[in-house]
Amino acid sequence: MPVRALWWEDGRLAFLDQRALPGRVRIVRTRHARTVASAIRTLAVRGAPTIGVAGAYGMVLAQREGRLGAKAAARLLGSTRPTAHDLFVGIATVQRAWESGDDPLAAANAYRDTVVEECHRIGEAGARLFRGSPKVLTHCNAGALATVEWGTALAPIRVAARRGAKPFVWVDETRPLLQGSRLTAWELEQEKIPYVVIADNAAGHFMSRGEVDAVIVGADRIARNGDFANKVGTYEKAVLAREHRIPFYVAAPWSTFDPQARTGASIPVEERDEEEVLRAGGTRVTPRKSRARNPAFDVTPSRFVTAFITPGGVIKPRAVAAALRRRAGRT
Ligand code: MRU
């Protein structure tokens, strides 16, 4: 069975509780928008495209519960996490249907289908970059768990492997919440794609020894000039890749591109609870009085990006603004 992060089932949103993985496959089913909001905030549901789809279904549940109006429901779901642009696209898509008397569930289903289809197209567009036996490094989790199905960064690797390539993946563990070692490793295992987990600090070591052929990551928000936010630690991987002349790819559906953000300076970066850093695997690892800072994302300047892998093909950072203008012209 391919991994699916969430689905609609008998009037409820069902989702994998990603906090329990890889130890336990725990499925939560809910009829409540508040439960969806809390799942997004606590990272039970996570990854930019997945939280966009969860936000869309959260709006459907809010409309059916009848306690909140469309604007209040959008505020509830939109206040959970600030960085992923997809969340706001998913919510706004269903809000429009709700306010204009259309069927919110039909709008949420169509939004989900678009995200899944775009991720599939990312896989098809990017697979040619991973022919042969490439050693590819990825950060965080940008697989099916983060995108409902397929993935963004993992989609081209998956498609390349299905076409006979033999990719190998370096999986950054991704402190503090270990999306790499818990989730990316779990997904690659399901797909039987070989990988090893490395401490986040080890990427430079393997790059300097010629053991990384390419880096590929997802994104939470991409500005018009190609600056982009992704899981904290992405920026330093991009700088290291440039130093070692390793191609650095960013894969994302259109919902991640923010036409309102001129540069990375206007991307809001979520700062999470310091407890996530003060603990490792649930255990306090610092002296009692230690404090911590915990930015969940960082912003990588577009000059470090070799290309974006989009549903419309592989494009250079300088082509992002024109691609967004073309898309705006079509809608
Ligand atoms: O805090 P998370 O786990 O939601 O962060 C997720 C990431 O940074 C992913 O790389 C990003 O959302 C791209 S997902 C296709």
pLDDT tens digit sequence for 202-236: 999 999 999 999 999 999 999 999 999 999 999 99
Question: Is 47 touching ligand 1 by the criterion CB < 6 Å?
Answer: yes
pTM confidence score = 0.97
CA-based nearest residue to 229, from 320, 299, 313, 331:
299
Question: Is 218 touching ligand 1 by the criterion CB < 6 Å?
Answer: yes
* Residue 141 in domain: yes
The CATH number of whichever domain residue 65 belongs to comes to 1.20.120.420
* Residues acting as catalytic residues: 220
The vertex-162 CA angle with 135 and 169, nearest 5°, equals 20
Residue 292 and residue 180 share a domain? yes
The number of helix segments (H) and strand segments (E) in the chain equals: 12, 15
Residue 113 and residue 149 share a domain? no
Q: Across the 331 residues of the chain, what is the mean pLDDT of every consecutive 10-residue run?
A: 92 98 98 98 98 99 98 98 98 98 98 98 98 98 98 98 98 98 98 97 98 98 98 98 98 98 98 97 94 98 98 98 94 66
Identify the DSSP state of 303: G
The CATH number of whichever domain residue 207 belongs to comes to 3.40.50.10470
Gap between the Cα atoms of 259 and 51, Å rounded: 19
Residue 113 and residue 21 share a domain? yes
Structure tokens at 315: 């494009």
SS3 250: strand
- How many CB atoms neighbour CB 153 within 10 A? 30
| Structural domain boundaries enclosing 53 | 6-118
Question: Is 165 touching ligand 1 by the criterion CB < 6 Å?
Answer: no
Residue at a domain's end among 84, 118, 152: 118
Number of domains composing the chain: 2
